[in-house]
Structure 1
Amino acid sequence: MPVQKNHAIVFCPENQRLGQEVTSDLSKAGYQLHQYQFSDNFEEGAFYRDIPETRGQVVVLLSDNFLRKTACLYRCLPVLKDLQEKNRLIAVLAPGIARDKDGTKREIPTQIGQVNQMLVYMKYWHTRYLDLREKLIHLSEPDGELEREVEVVKDISANISSILNFFNELPCIRLEAFLQNTYEYFFSRLNDPQGHDKLMRILKKEEEVKDNATLIEIITKSSKDLLAENTELESANKEPVVQPKTAEEDPSEMTERLIDELNAEEEEELMIVLDDGEDEEDYFSEEEEDALLDELFGEDESDEPLTQAKPKLRKRAPKPQDPPAPEEVMEVAVGLFNAGKTSQALGFLKGAVDAAPANPTLRYYYAYALARYEKNLDAAVNELDDILAEHPRFIEALFLRGELAEHQKDYEKAIAAYHQVLDIDGDFPGAHYRLGILYLFHSEGKKDEALYHLEKTVQLDHNNADAHYCLGTLYAEHLNDPAQAISHFMVTKELKPQHRFAWYEIAVLYHKMGKGELAYRFYQRAIAVNPELRTPHNDRVFKLGISKKPSQQISHEGNATTGNKAVPSEEKAQDETQKPKTETTKSMIEGPKTVLITGATAGIGRATADLFAKNGFRVIITGRRLDRLEQQKERYQKEFNSDVLLLHFDVRDLDAVKEAIGNLPEEWSQVDILINNAGLSRGLAPIHEGKPEDWDTMIDTNIKGLLYMTRAIAPQMVARKSGHIINVASSAGKEVYPGGNVYCATKFAVDALTKSMRLDLFKHNVRVSQVSPGHVEETEFARVRFDWDVEKAAAVYENFQPLKASDVADAIYYIATRPPHVNIQDIFMFSTQQAGSNFIDRSGR
């Protein structure tokens, strides 16, 4: 079993240096650790969002700083548990870094093993939450970013004890043990003793070089201290420095200069020269040098001066040195390539090759650069052939030779090159995959060979999504094994959710198997990811498949409108003994899943939009705050790969409603589910003290807004005899409370409208439902009611646990996803501590 070489390391900014040192050390053994640095800025990354995309081992530098960062801890527990279950987590207990008032950095221990140590972090997050909440309460106007931060910190505060317990139950390893014996623990986890030996040899060699450099530094420093009185004389004798020209150099000249610069990085030798009367070339004799070194290192305890003559320093011409390593040369060249100086970079590499023609690695880098940067494949091939003629087992050159042969469509030569690679290293990364592709697509009668090499590929690297997709294709189209095909396509879409065809292939296979509902569900996701797959033919065939019996087979025919992907169609001939179907079974997901949610920028509306987007629905979000709509759209597309349309208007404005709905793009014109969520409350004054302007706002939003949206959407539902309207009502529409007067009246109106709308629309096969929640936190309801007096608003939910916005969203989602023959009339819901509008247990959460 080959060793996985791609892994991840997670740390926070204070531990950046340690993270980079570990990454650098392990890279010398061929391991690539992708660095993930998380702080309190979610825009720069977050553990729960980024780490699930990694592969290989995940090394977490668990420090005091890590345990105080929101982007490290928010929603991290499910990810950590998943990593641990898959044996991919290495938790390293590392010291934190604190900065004193004077800017001095100091290490602080990270301790979580005892209850009192855990309490430190629990108290930290609880205090941080209370401080942020206090700040939010005293705000004079809404602050979306602060609200989000409060939500995040509240979540961490609620889960910090579970996070700490998780780490305590792990076999956490202390940093000293992790670093001990050259990362022996890391290599033992990966069962790679060869890699460990390789790193030990490299670091030992570096240590020897470092020791030599240290001796030179000691001599140099001592010499400078001893001869400091001559520095002014030395400076006076120096010739002026000539600055290099800024104009572009000739490649050959630049090669010579850059190599000189690389060579010049070694320490310069120092020597002692007598006064001006002596000959410049008369250096100290060996005996005199030995005496001087004895004096420098204190072996002679005499206080007598070394010599009466005043010495001075000057540089000796550098000794001949070895040429720079190929990696150093390539690093310089890549810098030039990245700067757009392709011709100079190639000239520099060519000059390096000419200077060391016997170095095959330099020549390999030159061939690689010719192919990648200059696209000169013929020249690259010639260079590689020359290398392989002298070094036939140069495995990287062989693999590159195979890749270039593929580009030149010389598939036989490519196959031969890859087999030579595997003869040398049977697990060389990429060789099995390339052979699998070549045998599958470019060789007749080689499907068994393709199967072997692709199966070997996913054994070596299970995260190779493209290999899984090819295996799915092989099992589906050549080996007639749909179950195996579906399993590989499933892995493909898990590894690469935006794969352009994996969802579609699953839909086709389920369709052939007679599983119409599953097929249609995957087809809906397929066209969300790749709209090109949606055609009238595909829509018709997949919809027809929903009502088919499992025994009815579907053929797999091509359709020119979908490019090179095959499309299922109805099989014309059926078994004559099969009885005709007497009733039609409709799917709960029949038709495009498009949901429109009003008031989607906060509270219940936002939670509902989150849930539908996460579950693959096409979502239209509406609201008055354009900035929030844009942020939500971007988030849904990034996190859920959702198809999202935003509409910026006020439901109280009839003309704006007509314009927005009347001008929906064609692909969005069919709304399947309308969720009338927009609503609000103004004031809690008794009827004789109420403000008419507040009454107007509540009536215009809660009643008229709902009516305007229903009037705009319902006709299309009636026309196609399909649709669902869900109104967000309230417990205030069931029972009144003091000061609720007009608000309660508007919600009683919603309750009455829901019932009467159902009577109007049921005969058109349009469902009408409502959800009626009691107190719900995580919304702006109370703050709007009290004109953003957040202290009053917070008091509404004090000392009891109300419903959460996500609880109501779950109820709405449940209503919307029942089978077509089921219509939930109403969900009337409270939290456990609320028994009615006027009955709340405020004994504490």
Structure 2
Amino acid sequence: MQTLNIPVSLAYCAENEEVASKIATDLAPVITLQKVAIQRDQEQSLASKLKGFEGAIILLISDNFLRSTKCMESGLSMLNEHGHDVLPVVIPGYRLAENGEKEVVATSFERVSDIIQYINFWQDRYLDLRRQKREDERLDNEGFASHLKAVRDISGEAGEFIRLLRSNLHLELYQFQHNAYQQLFIFLDETEAGDAFRESFAEETPTPTQPETPTVAEVVATETAEEEVPPLDLTGIPGIDLLPSTPTFDEEEKENGDNQEDFGIEILEGEPEEHPEEEDFGMEVLEGDPSENEAQEDVEEEAELLVEKAWRLADSDAMSDGITLLEAGLESFPNNEALRYNYALLLAQDDRAEEASEQVNFLLTKNPQHENGLFLAAELADLAGQPALARKYLARLVSINEQGADVWFRLGELSLQAEPNATGKAVKYFKEAAKREGTPEDAYYQLGLLYAGALDHPKKALKAFQKTIEINPEHSFVYYDLALLHHRQHEHEQAYHAYQQAISINPEFKTPENDAVFKLMAHKSDLQQEQNTLQALKDNVSRLEALIQQREASALLESEAGKGKCILITGATSGIGKATAAKFAANGYRLIITGRRAERLQALQQEWKERYGTESHLLVFDVRSAEAVQAAIDSLPAEWSTIDILMNNAGKAKGFDPIHEGHLEHWDEMIDTNIKGLLYLTRAVTPGMVARGHGHVINVASTAGKEVYPKGNVYCATKFAVDALTKSMRLDLHQHGVRVSQVAPAHVEETEFALVRFDGDQEKANIYEGFQPLTSRDVAATVYFIAQQPAHVNILDVVLQGTQQASSTVIDRSGRDRYQEEE
């Protein structure tokens, strides 16, 4: 029998050597397998060992494999790299009992609970390692940090890795070995060799007739016995050797309730069958169960754990995994209110409002007085354009329990939306809001408008407007409405002064019509003239709000600057990206805006559509993921595939430490975002520009890429890299008609830069005290200027600093008043 001369790799966790050796021995007469066994203490991961391998890969998936760092590290990338060349084979796992004997652990990922147990395992391991690092300063070393990063990445990808395995062709071990490995030869497209091997193999070895997995009785006996999970072998993990020998991570988890094994796994003989009703997520009913009360406490404790883990996943950009976790929990505990509410809330945050509404309505059917459910139902109804229904939910909420000012104010707003003429209800709600601590300024303002208009009670209106000014002296609209109120009362001097206050705060109020009314009436009292100007005033009031919102847009839309052109802006949910998107939207461009916060993108899309009539397309992804970037660009509809301008704006600073105290996770985050993110977008978008023979790439750098400053080490390095990349991109792309530019601002206000750098610490983030820095709108105007140059002009680099900033470290902090007065 001839040996096949094709490369085939057998990849597996070293703990499954027995199964791997049998496969290799069986196939030795016809295939020479390249065995890749992954040990716990080795340096290279499975993905790195297989990188570049050109051939078929038999991947033995066991419980050991799915819990091994070196097997799982970059596993998702490995599957994507090798694609259809990978044949996953599901085999039993093993663990050593206290007596030294091997115990079988079934491997399955056919059900939701099967996947969830591994998601939980990696999330828990990551959190445990972080805790160890915080508690033991000896672990603050590069080796341990590298391992921590690997576990963090696995915890975010484990669910997707297993789902990908499940969705692709995979075989149980007995299916793989059946009929002398027939499926393998079909996979290799070597059926003739398979036939010859089968004849020879049949003479020597009986064909397995059933899976090498425990029987139902064995599994029940195993699951009902109180066995102790063996300690996790941490040999070879960098930095772990510094830890005391006890307790290990697994032992600590055992002491805390063994939360690594949250969900029971059902193992059946033969092929797995679906029994979703039997998924009990570890809540087994055994002889000697506790009382009903104790059982209910167990359910609530389990539900609380599920909710906590789901939100932890959501906060780690694994929203779908969090939703899946709660969905599975509801299969076991369909009547648990906490699970149902948080499931609805996560669905709402994932922009699945209709599904969220179904869940919260089910919750309220069971418990009409669920306060959080009522509030969420109101928000969803309002989002669906049903203000009357939203008001109904909030009205029920305030009848159940005392609520804060914001809820009562929202009731007032919803009442006006639902019944514009039923002002009595709205007044009642706004009054209730005004009685409570933290009253929104607009509660008094809305009361003033109602009293001044439909209710015709000027004294109460005046009082409400004055309360609004007490809360916010810069509220321009209240001054204008106050001017109208005084005017109607023939108090012309007061009207004139209120009007002056309004235009000092918001110059948009200064119109020829308003000047004619308020200035004239401040000095003349002729009755006929008053009547004429009053009519003019009424006409002006009816269109004033539209004038304020549309004047700039109407003027700019006459320009043809952005007609038909499309700009893609990364990091458009805040700061420079948001300001630039608004600038281009106002000038008629079509926008592709990206970011990780879908709700912000949707709000901006709606705002620009209403204000400017802007066409926009949203892409929600993380620029740090090359796969996510390419998938997002590939997903663009044909009408959005032509990108004229790419603005690489997404970037961040994390931490502010000297180099010897820096945090590796901060460095990774800055490098992945500021450098790799820019590269991934450029690589995905510029081929289209080159093919079309025109385009423009505008990179947002920083003066930190021109000069370094203390404690700026890695951030400065990333921005120096942006500066270098911009220059080298230009050399590569200029011959294709593609322009490459850069804008490098210094300190910029109206962004989240400082808050992100200091992890949300408002006090540390207050770095603009005492001077007037640039604003995000200043940078946006510069980017727009760069983009408006004729096709033969390329502005290479613009460096911006505030007048009071001479360098990164030399700043005049004597105050910003004079600049505010000039503006």
* TM-score normalized by the length of structure 2: 0.38
Whichever of the two has the greater Rg, that structure is: 1
* TM-score normalized by the length of structure 1: 0.37
